[in-house]
Structures are given as C-alpha cells and as structure tokens.
Amino acid sequence: MRRLLIDREAPIRSIAEQLGLSLPVARALADDLRDKTLLEYQGLDGRDYRIGLTDLGRSTATERMQQSTYASYVPVPLEDYVRVVDAQRADLRLNREGIRHAFQDLVVADELLDQLGPAFMNDGAIFLYGPPGTGKTSLAERMIKVHDDWILVPRAVEVDGQVISLFDPAIHEAADEQPVEMDPRWVICRRPIIIVGGELNMGMLGLDYDVHAGLYQAPIQMKANNGLLVVDDFGRQMVTPDELLNRWIVPLSRGIDFLSLSYGFKFTIPFEAKLVFSTNLDPNSLGDDAFLRRLRNKVFVGPIGDDAFTWILARVAKANGIQASAEAGLHMRRVARENIGDLRPYIAVDFCELMLGICEYEGLPRVLDEEMIDRVAEVYFCKDVEVGPARKGAVSEHLSPGVAEQAFQPPPAAPHAAPTAFPAAQAPSVAAAPAVGAPATLQVPAQPAPVPAAEPAPIAAHTDSSVYAGVAAGAAAYPTPVDGHR
C-alpha cells in the first residue's frame, strides 16, 4: 500500500517487481486488499490489472508512512537469514600455494605467508602488528582473496515487524548477472570485506535507527557476515581496545551476536565475520596479558630485506616509466637506512611518486639516479630543528660572493625548453626487462628461467603509500623468483 501511495496507480506486475514478489503472491495480496476495500482494480493493462488505492486505503497508507517510509523489496524473515548465513560458513582448505596466490601482487616472504595461512584456518581474530609502513594494511586489504566463492545477501531482514536494511552496494560486490529464477529479495555477492579505522565507535556495532524513515541500518559486523571485518589502526579509536574486545568476546567465542531494537526487543544473529586487527602500536601498550591472550593469532609484519626492496623499486619504477640503475637502488637503500634505520616498502613508492612531480615541474626525463634520490630525500625526511642563528641553513644577513653583482644584472634571455623525453640512446630502463646480471640496469636477485604465463592486464600505478609490495604491473616481464618469492 505504501508502494501504491508513491506510484498512485500501477499494474500488479510492476508492483510485484518493485517489492521482489512473485506475480501469484502479488495477485493474492491485491485480491485480499480489494476485499478489505483498501484498493481497487481500475481496468486491464494488457493481460494484467491496474490497481490503485481507495480513499480508505490512501488514508491508511498515509498513516503507515508516518511510521515507516520503506516501500522497496519485502524483507526476508530473520530465521531465513540465520539459516543462510550458517550454511555459508567459510570452509577453507589453504596451503602455501593458495595463500601465495591470494597475495600474488605483493612481495611477501614465505615465512610471513606461513603465519598468515594457519591464522586463517584457526578460530579467533588475526592480530597484525609491527612498525609503521611495513604493509599491514595492504595485507589486510587482500586477505579476502583467500576466498573465491559467492554468497547470498538479503536486501533487508524483518525482525518483530521492523525492517533492517542489510545489502549495501558500497560493501557487497554483486554479481553482474543475477539468476532469473532466484528470489530477487536476495543478491549473489562476493564475500564482503569491511575496513574501519580511527572512526570506529561503539555506535557502529549496534542497529542504527532512522527516525524519519522508520528503518534500521545493519551494524558493520552484520554486513560483514560470511566475510572479513578489518579494524585498522587498532588502538587509535575513540573507544579503548578493552572496550572493543570486550564487545566481541561472546561473538568470537560463541559465533553469535546480540542486537536490540530501539524499544528494547533483543534478538541474536550469527557472527560469521573473520576479525582482523592491525596496529603499529606496541602490543603491550594496548592491554594486559589477558587481553593479548584473546588475540590468539599474532603475526609480526616487520621491515623488509634488500632483495624485497629491490623488487619493489623495480616494479614501481616500471609502472611509472622511470629508468633506474643498480647504483640508484643501492643509494636509495643507503638513504633509507640513514634516515629511518631499516627498509620499508613505502620508501620506494613515495620516492618514485615525488620524483614524478619534480620531473614534471622542471621538464626532466624520468631518470632515478643518486642526485634525484638526494633531492627527494631533502623534502621527504624531516630535519632536526635547532634553535639559534648558528644552525646550518638558517637565514643569514650575509650574501655569498658575487650575488650582489649578479642580482641586479639585466635578466638573461629565456633558455631553451628542457627536453621532455629521454633519448632512446640512453641506458635502458627497468621496463626493458634485461637479462639477470646486466650491469646497466637495476638488478634483482638471481632467478631461474621464467615460467611461461598469460600476460596480465595492465595495472595502474599504485598510489597507496602504505603498500607493502609496491605495484605488480609488469611483473610478468621479470623472471619468476626462487621458491616463488615475488
């Protein structure tokens, strides 16, 4: 009746499609409402009847609109939702090859993969920790790739006569084609992944009631059911880690969660989301031993080695059309260690991206050499701030010799435009994929002969400074590494 109040009049078939009902059910409902003088048949529309509300039906629907404006797909009963979620529990059978495939676009050591794989197979949350910029977020974002199947997600769920909106196009990736014979109140989707950070608060873990619409929005853990829920920057939320973990003690141990409607009616739903926490804080600062014991699967994500850094730099340079040499890679590693003490993947990504701005500004060719690395480092790393005019680089009242004479000379003629393209005769870039050991280009660890593989679709340059492994674009141009280390 609310749908008819909006449409004024429509064929029964049209109303049925908008509500996700089969035509026989819609016709039976229309007959029942006609018997109650709430709607009337207004003639044929082809082989179907057009219907509209009577005066009594219009006043009744208007009154109901004040309670709820929802007039879309009919919600599925709570018991049907529970049954389907339970039937869709992930049944993973992972091994090293499977976990390696999920993270194939990242440079990840086998030792780390061998910790992530069992963590997925075990019950309980996964806790990723380590210093900033080592790729914890990038790992968490790709964890959903261990799943390659589809699930059913209801558009809305009915509880005690109330409607809870669940399907969210921003979270649930629907299949391009939905089966015609399927109940349209359900949507076939990929397993979802929800990533929340410092904005997470306790209100996001309960039902959100829209007073004006008379409709509930499902909490994030309900939307993440049969998928992953990632809490990034754990420990930096407005609520304490203890409060968050205490909220999830029962769901993690029993696989159910408790929700309440606005008027106090409580009910249970399945908790079938894999929880992943990621933090760069000291784990001991987040809680006591009892707290850490609840996070059973702890995975340390630390700095990377020289070989991994070389691979990352080579891939990022290739993706951005940058020419680099082995000497440049060595110098960048040296600069990184001098400034932050170790190697982290974001350094290669950030340096290449900052270099592009310099080259664009000055019309320089995209050549990453020691001079360019030093120039980027000058603006990338913070300098020690000292008080007093004696500090090196402080503002001075004295001019360098000859500056006064040069400053007041007539301006010189405009110089010729700087070259915008790098001459082909110069040293080849890493994109040329030279043979291993070629001295003129950025070298990578010795590899066996490449394994023939299908050419991957090109991937745009990665712009995430927290990326753990850089960009995979052009990876097929490089030999397959030893033991599959990418």
pLDDT digit string (tens) for 243-276? 888 888 888 888 899 999 999 999 999 999 999 9
CA–CA distance, 326 with 429 (Å, rounded to integer): 11
* Backbone torsion region of residue 46, taken as left when φ is above 0, otherwise alpha when ψ lies between -120 and 50, otherwise beta: left
Q: Is the pLDDT of residue 346 over 80?
A: yes
CA–CA distance, 61 with 328 (Å, rounded to integer): 72
- Read off the pLDDT band of 13 (50, 70, 90): very high
Q: Is the pLDDT of residue 484 over 50?
A: no
Instruction: Find the mean pLDDT for residues 93-108.
Output: 85
Task: Enter the tokens of residue 60.
Answer: 């009744």
Q: Render the burial of 277-310: b for 16+ CB within 10 Å, e for the rest.
A: bbbbeebeebbeeeeeebbebebebebbeebbbb
Q: Give percent of the chain above pLDDT 70.
A: 79
Cβ-contact 421, 414 below 8 angstroms: no
Q: Is the pLDDT of residue 449 over 70?
A: no
**Selected residue with higher pLDDT from 410 and 317:** 317
Instruction: Find the mean pLDDT for residues 118-140.
Output: 89
Output the pLDDT for position 356: 94
Helix (H) or strand (E) holding 376: helix 370-380
Output the pLDDT for position 383: 79
- Read off the pLDDT band of 285 (50, 70, 90): confident
Closest CA to 332 of 346, 315, 351, 314: 351
Helix (H) or strand (E) holding 263: none
CA–CA distance, 74 with 52 (Å, rounded to integer): 19
Instruction: Find the mean pLDDT for residues 139-163.
Output: 93
Q: Are strands 256-260 and 266-270 parallel, antiparallel or unpaired?
A: antiparallel
Output the pLDDT for position 273: 93
Cβ-contact 132, 280 below 8 angstroms: yes
Residues present in the chain in total = 486
Average per-residue pLDDT for the chain: 81
CA–CA distance, 41 with 44 (Å, rounded to integer): 8
Q: How far is CA 262 from the centre of its chain?
A: 31
**Selected residue with higher pLDDT from 23 and 94:** 23
CA–CA distance, 17 with 26 (Å, rounded to integer): 9
List the domains of the chain with CATH numbers: 2-67 (1.10.10.10), 86-300 (3.40.50.300), 306-381+420-484 (no CATH)
Radius of gyration of the chain (CA): 30
Q: Is the pLDDT of residue 345 over 80?
A: yes
Q: Is the pLDDT of residue 450 over 50?
A: no
Helix (H) or strand (E) holding 260: strand 256-260
Residues contacting 303, CB < 8 A, separation 6+: 131, 134, 342, 343, 344
Output the pLDDT for position 481: 41
Amino acid found at 88: Q
Output the pLDDT for position 420: 39
Q: Is the pLDDT of residue 433 over 50?
A: no
Cβ-contact 215, 155 below 8 angstroms: no
**What are 207-243's pLDDT values in tens digits?**
999 988 899 999 999 999 999 999 999 988 888 888 8
**Complete edge-to-edge strand list for the sheet that includes strand 48-53:** 9-11, 48-53, 39-45
Counting other chains too, the contacts that 361-366 makes at CB distance below 8 Å and 24 or more residues apart are: 362/418, 363/417, 363/418, 363/419, 363/420, 364/418, 365/323, 365/419, 365/420, 365/421, 365/422, 365/426, 366/320, 366/321, 366/322, 366/323, 366/422
Output the pLDDT for position 44: 85
Q: Is the pLDDT of residue 413 over 60?
A: no
Q: Is the pLDDT of residue 443 over 50?
A: no
Output the pLDDT for position 387: 53
Output the pLDDT for position 424: 37
Q: Is the pLDDT of residue 412 over 80?
A: no
* Backbone torsion region of residue 293, taken as left when φ is above 0, otherwise alpha when ψ lies between -120 and 50, otherwise beta: alpha
Cβ-contact 480, 363 below 8 angstroms: no
Output the pLDDT for position 352: 94
Cβ-contact 274, 120 below 8 angstroms: yes
Hunting for tokens 């974001």 — which residue is that? 346
Output the pLDDT for position 296: 83
Output the pLDDT for position 17: 93
Reduced to 3 states, what is the DSSP secondary structure of residue 418? coil
Q: Is the pLDDT of residue 165 over 90?
A: yes
**What are 451-465's pLDDT values in tens digits?**
444 444 433 333 343
- Read off the pLDDT band of 386 (50, 70, 90): low
Output the pLDDT for position 409: 57
pTM: 0.73
Task: Tell me phi and psi for residue 227, to 5 degrees.
Answer: -145, -140
Output the pLDDT for position 93: 83
Instruction: Find the mean pLDDT for residues 389-415.
Output: 52
Q: Is the pLDDT of residue 419 over 80?
A: no
